[in-house]
Structure 1
């Protein structure tokens, strides 16, 4: 496909492209004109992911940015989780059912629906409060919950609907998470942006649980013990300095040896202690595994945790009553009563203290003791491992000193080193303790809302200019692409260059498309316009080129055929006769197209081709003149035929007109015989034996198929008889391509 042809195709159809672009602009304008207004609200949370997230005795390395990005992705996905989105849907629906100013109101038709009419609103409110408090999902399989579920869809508050209003993203290169909500109601947008964060934090705390407060207390105990150790080392160093004064170099070796012995003894004792602690830890872990496999006590622990959480929530609700209206106090009291009922249910679920429950309580106490013992053993092992490493290092250092001399200065250096290490450990413990006091209850959840979403005063801009530009550009490119695609997948010849590349046949001339309904063909040859412009003048000029090629070929009798029917053979034969008449040449036209005798029908000629038979008596020309018909074209005669389903060899008699054609042609300058299409009939192959040259007609609207290739191969096999081809019906704009 020629790029130049594609470009010209776009230029020829520029008004179609322009019209599509205008339609796109109009569609964009209508879209923005009737687009509903939307209001946006923003809430912002500090995640604390770049802060220290856990209590650690050892100082950690710098920030892990990959881990931080992963945490942000996890948090965003948690925001979109079904549990959080469902809690948000329940809160919004409960607001519209209880508040005097709901975000959305149902119309009369919606209120007449079965979903609204069959729903008990008081029961629906209680059910929503219970589901929100317990973070439970509505079941569409429960008949009562199914009604509330359908009501939520009736209001348009389903989780998948609300999720379409929300956009949650991380503020670039910050510790902040932004929640953007856009809806038709400014107060609804602000409510959703604030509520989803609250529900997310609740859900996040449930996932990761509450932080163990004993860690900070134990860390404080370890810090206090380390403080006492530092004070003791300081006093020992002070007393030693007062005792020895200036150390004697001669005593250093013996002093160093003494230190080595003491350190070696401490090292062995600490290693033995470490081995005992590890063995005890394995025993505790094994006992815990046995208790866990029995699965006892879990329900009681869970009930206790739930009761504590409900009691704490009731305390907070009592505090919230201060300064509230009677309606709000009533709502808070309903929640308190619901929590009290749950506490009673949890308490009753325990049952009487049977023997089995007593065993469970004892097992639970045993499990708690083992967990506490396991934690204590792990910390002791950590300390013992540090002491073992320290004593090993001291032992190696003092063994070196014993070989080079030691004394009181060595002991003094060792005591100073011990004091310095203990002081550093104490400072690290103080920093860890301070960090633990700065964290929230959940070490993985340090979320704080730093920007509360507010209702927007003005709707979001419609971005009409941008939408119009996008619509215009989209339709422009889309229409251009469709036109190019249609041209690209169009396998017709279209242009002379494409035709020659496809067929590799000699091209005598290309004839442009002519509107014969507007004016008969013969009239185009009578025009005297000197400008030679327009489709008629272009056609006549290109036909003159064809006339010159035929005159220069030195041949007189031509067979005009084609590979497909209706390629324009009759029109071109008529046009050639008109062109040759301008040069005062005598032309004989013979219609041998038995499958479609259009030439005979057009001029009303006598169908005498099948009747002519020269027996050798008299003059052949005398008999020939009786078979010819006059045409409207000057100096042009026509021999017609009957339309039938026979080939020339089947229907023509012996010594027919075609066999005597050389004698008859002596009275004419040129003879043109029209034959049937090569793809469908064998007529033209039989006629080729009686002519000097063969001209093949192709239409620019045709494409090349396998049957055409076979016919083209036959034309090439005729050798010198094949004169060339004529490409007919070419668009005027494609003539030069």
Structure 2
């Protein structure tokens, strides 16, 4: 888009851009004189959400706390905007105006129409709805009428919300409520009423929800406690029934005893193996004769020793079975001492072979045999006791599985109980120590707000100016009319050789050229025509072309006037000009000229008037064409005769709307020129005609933009 053209377009419509805003400003000023002053009242509510001094329970994570606080503030603001709260305010306002001698607003027409009984009924219904916190039912005819009274007084929800503002003061703990109206007392009343109704409603609903939560958690806590007690009773009964005190300690003790006896068993087995090997080595040192002698002499002594061994074996078994009790340890030590004495006594009575002195080996052998026998006795006793311990340990395994299952159930039930208990304590504490909403700032009647009348007047002027500019811009963008040479060339892709201005008034073409003091419009017209004449002369006469056909896209574009004007301009150069009226559909030249010869007559007599600077050949009109009036074989000879007698031959053909009729003239013309009227559009159905003009190549000179109005250019 060309900005310069658009600015010119606006400049030519400057009076509209000035007058319309002025009228708008005047109307706004007089309408704004009746606007009442507005009064704003504000109140503040403290929530306690941010004030840590009022909080008993603190959030652990600041990020979560801030997120939850923002959400809680948003919830509070939305609750304050609920229709339930607004309806309560509406009822209070109506009750005030119905019962007070000084209402906030003058009575509406509907309110004035209420008789005393109807007013009394309205007061009863509004009071009832207020106490029950119920909306008016629009399905009920009576209540629908009372709702219409609310609307007429502008006390309904929609009217109140238009002037009501509720917001949080940045990140503070306060919510601000403001209301704007034409009455300062009304503004203060509405704000205070909203705060009171909101605090009352929120406190009631919060307390009710908290009580329900505490009651639910209390019931759930009792259930979890009962379940825990049942699990503990099952475990207690099972332990009593199976004589289980503490499986963990019992199994631990048994396992410890088993490990101890296993260790003693290994030690005893090692001792037995050691004693057996040592005895074998000692026996190997005696020959058979010596062993026989020795055994025969010690038979009585051995019997005593064997008897003592049996006693030691019996005591050892009891000692092992008692898990090595100190009581049996003393008896065992006493028997060992007796056995030692018997062995020593036997060594004193041994009869030694004179061949060998092996008293020491014999004594050692006897000692080892006794000690080995004791170890064997202990091993058997240890194995028996170890088997008993293992059997006891195995019996504890199924008990342990059941006990573990019961203990796990008790642990789960205990965890659930503690979770519910913690939640119950938390909710109970919150219910008892919850922060209370408080109205810390009471709304008071305020001063009138700065007048917006002047601002409205200024805005009305600015907006009306912008609106007019926008309308003109749309018209400018949508305007496809040809109002410049460049636009015509761009739309048709055909060159324009000149333009002619629009003449508002003229008497005769001769006066245009003969008048020595023409006005500005006439002078401009002559100069533009001279420029066109020069272009035509350059294209035609210098190339020895004399015949020029003038056409247009549609009728009434000024081609006839252009043909006459061009003929007179060439006549001013002392050229002999022949003007042929080739438009059979509209023979304007033929009808306007008194000195003329008809083409139909010229074909026969070949006579032309020769007393004027411009010779005119007309036609008799009708539905005819050149080839229908003149035989084709004669036309060329006629034009050859014209070229010999005249310097310039101008043919005013019909428009291209009658394309075939125009073609017949153009076919015999040396050059062709077309006229386009200023301000018209190049329509899509012109494409066929434009293609025809383009196909003429050098024979076609170009466009003449006719009837140009300077004031309409952009």
TM > 0.5: yes
Contact 1:611-1:652 within 8 A present in 2 as well: no
Cα deviation for residue 66 of structure 1 reads: 4.6
2:668: which partner in 1? Answer: 690
1:717: which partner in 2? Answer: 695
Contact 2:597-2:608 within 8 A present in 1 as well: no
Q: 1:614 aligned to 2:604?
A: yes
C-alpha spacing 1:721/1:122, structure 2 compared with 1 (3 Å): same
Q: Secondary structure at the match of 1:679?
A: helix
Q: Answer with 668-677 or 520-529: which moved more.
A: 520-529
Instruction: Choose from 586, 589, 596 the match for 1:599.
Output: 589
The number of residue pairs the alignment matches comes to 526
Q: Answer with 185-194 or 544-553: which moved more.
A: 185-194
- Tell me, in whole angstroms, the C-alpha distance in 1 between the residues paired with 2:59 and 2:603: 121
Q: Secondary structure at the match of 1:180?
A: strand
Q: Point out 4+ residue stretches in structure 1 off by more than 6 angstroms.
A: 213-219, 269-274, 432-437, 654-658
- Higher Rg: 2
1:279: which partner in 2? Answer: 413
Q: Secondary structure at the match of 1:550?
A: helix
1:22: which partner in 2? Answer: 22
Contact 2:560-2:589 within 8 A present in 1 as well: yes
C-alpha spacing 1:214/1:573, structure 2 compared with 1 (3 Å): closer
Contact 1:513-1:731 within 8 A present in 2 as well: yes
- Which digits, 9 at most, give the CA deviation of each residue in 1:180-221, with x for residues without a partner? 2222222112111221222223333455443647999999xx
1:540: which partner in 2? Answer: 526
Contact 2:111-2:149 within 8 A present in 1 as well: no
- Tell me, in whole angstroms, the C-alpha distance in 1 between the residues paired with 2:614 and 2:625: 26
1:235: which partner in 2? Answer: none
Cα deviation for residue 659 of structure 1 reads: 5.5
Matches within 5 A, 1:471-510: 471-510=460-499
Cα deviation for residue 84 of structure 1 reads: 1.6
Contact 2:549-2:672 within 8 A present in 1 as well: yes
- Tell me, in whole angstroms, the C-alpha distance in 2 between the residues paired with 1:697 and 1:143: 75
Q: Answer with 567-576 or 46-55: which moved more.
A: 46-55
- Which digits, 9 at most, give the CA deviation of each residue in 1:57-110, with x for residues without a partner? 873434654544444443333333221221111111111111121112326x54
Q: 1:4 aligned to 2:4?
A: yes
- Tell me, in whole angstroms, the C-alpha distance in 2 between the residues paired with 1:132 and 1:436: 28
2:608: which partner in 1? Answer: 624
C-alpha spacing 1:176/1:271, structure 2 compared with 1 (3 Å): farther
C-alpha spacing 1:80/1:437, structure 2 compared with 1 (3 Å): closer
Q: 1:525 aligned to 2:659?
A: no
- Tell me, in whole angstroms, the C-alpha distance in 1 between the residues paired with 2:554 and 2:414: 100
Contact 1:89-1:159 within 8 A present in 2 as well: yes
Q: Secondary structure at the match of 1:493?
A: coil
- Tell me, in whole angstroms, the C-alpha distance in 1 between the residues paired with 2:554 and 2:118: 78
- Which digits, 9 at most, give the CA deviation of each residue in 1:556-584, with x for residues without a partner? 11000011222210121122123223222
Q: 1:152 aligned to 2:150?
A: yes
Cα deviation for residue 523 of structure 1 reads: 3.8
Matches within 5 A, 1:110-129: 110=110, 113=113, 116-117=114-115, 120-129=118-127
Q: Secondary structure at the match of 2:646?
A: coil
Cα deviation for residue 55 of structure 1 reads: 5.6
Instruction: Choose from 502, 513, 530 the match for 1:513.
Output: 502
- Tell me, in whole angstroms, the C-alpha distance in 2 between the residues paired with 1:5 and 1:650: 49
- Which digits, 9 at most, give the CA deviation of each residue in 1:417-453, with x for residues without a partner? xxxxxxxxxxxx99x999986633xxxxx43222222
- Tell me, in whole angstroms, the C-alpha distance in 2 between the residues paired with 1:686 and 1:214: 103
- Tell me, in whole angstroms, the C-alpha distance in 2 between the residues paired with 1:572 and 1:150: 74
- Tell me, in whole angstroms, the C-alpha distance in 2 between the residues paired with 1:697 and 1:488: 25
- Which digits, 9 at most, give the CA deviation of each residue in 1:141-161, with x for residues without a partner? 224433422332333322212
C-alpha spacing 1:477/1:536, structure 2 compared with 1 (3 Å): farther
Q: Answer with 207-216 or 161-170: which moved more.
A: 207-216
C-alpha spacing 1:468/1:156, structure 2 compared with 1 (3 Å): closer
1:660: which partner in 2? Answer: 638
2:170: which partner in 1? Answer: 172
What is the aligned-residue RMSD (CA, Å)? 3.8
Cα deviation for residue 551 of structure 1 reads: 0.9
- Which digits, 9 at most, give the CA deviation of each residue in 1:357-400, with x for residues without a partner? xxxxxxxxxxxxxxxxxxx64355789xxxxxxxxxxxxxxxxx
- Which digits, 9 at most, give the CA deviation of each residue in 1:335-357, with x for residues without a partner? xxxxxxxxxxxxxxxxxxxxxxx
2:685: which partner in 1? Answer: 707
2:559: which partner in 1? Answer: 569
Q: What TM-score, normalized to structure 1?
A: 0.64
C-alpha spacing 1:161/1:216, structure 2 compared with 1 (3 Å): closer
Cα deviation for residue 169 of structure 1 reads: 2.8
Contact 2:590-2:619 within 8 A present in 1 as well: yes
- Tell me, in whole angstroms, the C-alpha distance in 1 between the residues paired with 2:594 and 2:117: 88
- Tell me, in whole angstroms, the C-alpha distance in 1 between the residues paired with 2:471 and 2:202: 52
Q: Secondary structure at the match of 1:210?
A: helix
C-alpha spacing 1:526/1:51, structure 2 compared with 1 (3 Å): farther
Cα deviation for residue 503 of structure 1 reads: 1.2
- Tell me, in whole angstroms, the C-alpha distance in 1 between the residues paired with 2:45 and 2:672: 87
- Tell me, in whole angstroms, the C-alpha distance in 2 between the residues paired with 1:58 and 1:66: 11
- Tell me, in whole angstroms, the C-alpha distance in 2 between the residues paired with 1:381 and 1:196: 37
1:76: which partner in 2? Answer: 77
C-alpha spacing 1:656/1:27, structure 2 compared with 1 (3 Å): farther
- Which digits, 9 at most, give the CA deviation of each residue in 1:465-496, with x for residues without a partner? 32233222222222122112212111112111
Instruction: Choose from 159, 162, 165 the match for 1:161.
Output: 159
Contact 2:482-2:678 within 8 A present in 1 as well: yes
- Tell me, in whole angstroms, the C-alpha distance in 1 between the residues paired with 2:462 and 2:692: 51
- Tell me, in whole angstroms, the C-alpha distance in 1 between the residues paired with 2:419 and 2:649: 115
Cα deviation for residue 733 of structure 1 reads: 5.8
C-alpha spacing 1:201/1:525, structure 2 compared with 1 (3 Å): farther
C-alpha spacing 1:172/1:645, structure 2 compared with 1 (3 Å): farther
Cα deviation for residue 461 of structure 1 reads: 2.5
Matches within 5 A, 1:63-212: 64-106=65-107, 110=110, 113=113, 116-117=114-115, 120-210=118-208, 212=210
Matches within 5 A, 1:372-451: 377-380=418-421, 439-440=434-435, 446-451=436-441
- Identify unmatched segments of 5+ residues in structure 2: 219-402
Contact 1:605-1:638 within 8 A present in 2 as well: yes
Contact 1:119-1:147 within 8 A present in 2 as well: no
- Tell me, in whole angstroms, the C-alpha distance in 2 between the residues paired with 1:453 and 1:604: 97
